[in-house]
Structure 1
Amino acid sequence: MNTRKVIDVNWKFCLAILTCNVIFMSSSYTMLIPFLPMYLTRELGVDAASVNIWSGVVFSSTFLVSAVMAPIWGRMADRRGKRLMAIRASLLLSISYFLGGIVTSPLQLTFMRMFQGFASGLWPMELAIMTIYAPPKKLGICLGIMQGALTAGGIIGPLFGGILAEVFGMRMSFFLAAAALFLNFIVLVFFIKEPPTDTAGADSAADSEGDKVSLWKIPVIRLMLVSAALVQVVILIVQPILTTYISHLAGDLDNLVFISGLIFSMSGFSSAITAPLWGRFGQHHGFVKALRLSLVLAGIFFFVQALPDTLYTFAASQFAIGLFFSGIYPSINAILAEKTSASIKGRVFGLMFSAQQIGAMGGPILGGVIATFLGMKYVFLAAGALLLFISLAVQRKARQLHEA
């Protein structure tokens, strides 16, 4: 058997394993998060007057802790091993979900979510591992498939979470999520090997600077981190008001909850389908071009989304946004992977995850302020404007991104 075939089998096997892991991870998260307010009221005895406050505290506590811990775990990954950090995250996340199923008060649930933030880091570590194993000519499609898996898990999770909650009670969702993450832990221990650190690209500008100065001071990395944070702001600026806006457009329509959930998930369906295609496009035409194009098209359709006064046209625009939004993160990830070597990928993707968590904290606040003082339509306009702003920043630095 020749060396080329061995390498091909290894990266394909790694992609298959990590893709399954990402689906388990993402579905475990989304199986629970949409139902946290219900869990607080039904299982933990929080009254209606306090549930919104507790929901905000419980929801945001994870982001705060994980934003602090992600760069620390990333640095440890470069020193101790990326596989080891992925194993750590899987095991601790599994424990955190189990604890979530046995808590008896909202304060205990908050501490559990803080522990979950401390444990986080599985997604950036699996990204780092895959970017090292993937052949350079397959990097785009690999990252696109993983992003598609992340989105697919986000669609599957609420569906199973709702069914489990109705049939077995909400605590069962926590225990099933714990089991899924423990399975991830077992798979990582027995089937994934630590990726090599002496890969091609070690002489890249970002890598040679990476050990001498803060990664934040490297222009290419800084631009991608800021872009990742702002894209996360866009996601979280819209999500909190989306169901309310759909209800406003629907009026007295029957099965409103089902229809709202269906329209809410339409961008997820289209994203899961097209993320691998964007990865392939970036592989053939350049990831910088793919990033700029997906940012512009998604930004335009956010503007379009502010226009419809009917439910059907809004649903169509929601589906269209997913078609183009799905190209953003695979392109950012691929640019970071191309411009850095294996020796600093843990830190790079740890910082990117931290940037996303910061964006996730700021998005709902900004969206709430805009919706309250200007109206819900302006939230979509703000989201589109942010994406076009990022595209202009990328365009301005395009030559630097190509030459780095």
Structure 2
Amino acid sequence: MNWKRSFYIILVAQMFTSMGFSLIFPFLPFYIKELDTALGLGTEVLSGLVFSSQALAMALVSPLWGAIADRYGKKPMVVRAMIGGAVTVFLMGFVKTAEQLIFLRICQGLLSGVISATSALTASFAPREKSGYVMGSLQVAVWSGVATGPFIGGILADISGIRTTFVITGTLLFLSGVSVLLFVHEKADVKQKKEKKNSNLFSDWKSLFTNKKVMVVYVLRFLSSMANNMLYPVLPFFLAAMVGVKENLGTLTGTVIGVMSVSTIVGGFVMARSSDKFGHKKVVILASAFTALFFIPQGLVGKMWQFVALSLFAGLCSGALTPSLSALLVQSSDRGTEGSIYGFDNSIVAAGRAVAPIAGSLLAVQFSYKFTFIATGLVFMVMAIFAYFLPKKNEFVYDREFYPVSVSKNDFNPEP
């Protein structure tokens, strides 16, 4: 199998999938305000539920999808995640009440999970000694879509309405799923799949959770997910209060998030090329600490340029985290367990996303928006402290025997 060809196709599909999701993700609070509600809850609370419901559903089913991937193939799980997301997101454009939107978000959580699926598929065939570059490149693809999606989505929302963005997102997800189905080839390991089918599912999960290296990374992944998602339900309202305008808020929010995402791409791209040599533990400690220092003041500033400047530096630092944490997961796992590893990883990340919007909304309601930024910074600081428990670089196992043929340095030359 030409792993590089499949890898590049996955990168493109991942980028367009992320672009599609980010067309709608930042603007859900505005969409909720347009919908009726049978429960009579406030916009902030409904916004938290819309974000958390999808994440909670994903947290419950991701381990099962991961186990199925190890037994029956990881490519079908990528297609399932993209097509399932396409159908549910498309239908969101036609809901009448906030409760209907929450129901479809739950369905989305049950059926999607693109990032973990593509990560597991890529980790199953890419050389492990290049795991930092491979996972970093996936992260760059994700954030490239996240950077362009909000800007395009904000303009579309202001011109033609938010509902249009759901239709476009569903189309992008569907096309991405079809491209993976037709052009990505997964090498079948019949012996490995047979062993997995005959093995006990709960025994496999038990062995996973007795791996101390994996568990430390899981804790860091939960904290990172929580910190990165606390602001989404309140950010549009925070920006509106800062600038004091009510028109073109979709474009404003999308532009700010897009600018923040560009810095995250740069941080992820730089560390994708150097973290394998520098050491992932050092990267996680330093990146978490500096991200905290740049996040805390964001809620205290009164000018848009100050907020954007701090966001740029926070993005540069936080962008370095995910490639290193993903690479640590790859290096801590055995061949054939990638589906379970990333299934639980997706579950843990989703759990963080389920807790974060509710926590962020409650902090904003009980205190003020600025407390949400302070809490986000404190979570990153906890990450920096906990990262000291990560094993040293030489304690991770690289499965070099799986790739007996040496790989040229030029094979990993990134392309735009």
- In the superposition, the TM-score normalised over structure 1's length comes to 0.84
Match of 1:287 among 267, 280, 284: 280
Sequence identity (%): 28
Q: 2:112: which partner in 1?
A: 120
Alpha-carbon contact 1:61-1:113 (below 8 Å) kept: yes
Give, as a single letter, the amino acid of the residue that structure 1 aligns with 2:274: F
Does the alignment pair 1:69 with 2:22? no
The 3-state SS of whatever aligns with 1:239 is coil
Match of 2:309 among 307, 312, 316: 316
Does the alignment pair 1:179 with 2:183? no
Match of 2:9 among 9, 17, 21: 17
Does the alignment pair 1:191 with 2:183? yes
Q: 1:161: which partner in 2?
A: 153
Distance 2:233 2:313 in 1: 19
Distance 2:211 2:203 in 1: 8
Match of 1:344 among 333, 337, 349: 337
Distance 1:72 1:256 in 2: 40
Match of 2:71 among 67, 75, 79: 79
1:147 is displaced (CA, Å) by 0.8
The 3-state SS of whatever aligns with 1:342 is coil
1:367-388 Cα shifts (integer Å, max 9, x gaps) = 3344445544343332222222
Distance 2:32 2:247 in 1: 27
Match of 1:234 among 218, 227, 240: 227
Give, as a single letter, the amino acid of the residue that structure 2 aligns with 1:318: S
Does the alignment pair 1:393 with 2:397? no
1:403 is displaced (CA, Å) by 4.8
1:53-93 Cα shifts (integer Å, max 9, x gaps) = 54444333211211101111001111111111112222222
Distance 1:357 1:266 in 2: 25
**Structure 1 segment 36-51 matched on structure 2, within 5 A:** 36-40=28-32, 42=34, 44-46=35-37, 50=41
1:159 is displaced (CA, Å) by 2.6
Alpha-carbon contact 2:147-2:257 (below 8 Å) kept: no
1:252-296 Cα shifts (integer Å, max 9, x gaps) = 799776555433433211011221211112112122222222112
Distance 1:56 1:302, change over 3 A: closer
Give, as a single letter, the amino acid of the residue that structure 1 aligns with 2:319: S
Distance 1:375 1:151, change over 3 A: same
Alpha-carbon contact 1:87-1:188 (below 8 Å) kept: yes
Distance 1:108 1:237, change over 3 A: closer
What stretches of structure 2 of length at least 5 have no aligned partner?
A: 193-201, 398-416
Q: 1:108: which partner in 2?
A: 100
1:35-55 Cα shifts (integer Å, max 9, x gaps) = 33444554x555996562544
Distance 1:340 1:262, change over 3 A: same
1:221-251 Cα shifts (integer Å, max 9, x gaps) = 1111111111111112233333444444445
Distance 2:246 2:79 in 1: 47
The 3-state SS of whatever aligns with 2:186 is coil
Match of 2:395 among 391, 399, 402: 402
Q: CA RMSD in A?
A: 3.0
Match of 1:215 among 198, 208, 211: 208
Distance 1:108 1:377, change over 3 A: closer
Alpha-carbon contact 2:56-2:350 (below 8 Å) kept: yes
Distance 2:65 2:394 in 1: 27
Alpha-carbon contact 1:139-1:334 (below 8 Å) kept: yes
Q: 2:370: which partner in 1?
A: 377
Does the alignment pair 1:274 with 2:267? yes
Does the alignment pair 1:99 with 2:99? no
Farther off after superposition, 31-40 or 148-157: 31-40
1:310-356 Cα shifts (integer Å, max 9, x gaps) = 43222211110000100111111000011112311111111111111
